[in-house]
Amino acid sequence: MPDDELTALVRAIAWELIQLGYVPTERPGFVQRGDREPVRIVATETWQAMQQILQGAQP
């Protein structure tokens, strides 16, 4: 899979997680939804993409 396709896939996954109410925590790789305990997501790249999207970058 070319890098640009992989990047698009990671950003799409990050966008979907945000739409489901998940946000990245201060711990790299962990996301949280509401009051629930933080959960580890496998790809740190997805966590970083979530942060970028929430800071104003487009999905």
- Single out the residue of 32, 2, 6 nearest to residue 50, CA to CA: 32
pLDDT in tens, 5-19: 999 999 999 999 999
Q: Across all residues in the chain, what is the average pLDDT?
A: 91
Domain ranges of the chain: 3-54
- The per-residue pLDDT for 21 is 96
Taking the complete model, does pTM exceed 0.85, yes or no? no
pLDDT-derived band at 42 (thresholds 50, 70, 90) equals confident
- Taking the chain, what is the end-to-end CA distance rounded to the nearest angstrom? 19
Tokens of 17: 């997680």
Give the type of residue at 38. Answer: P
Count of other CB atoms within 10 angstroms of residue 13: 16
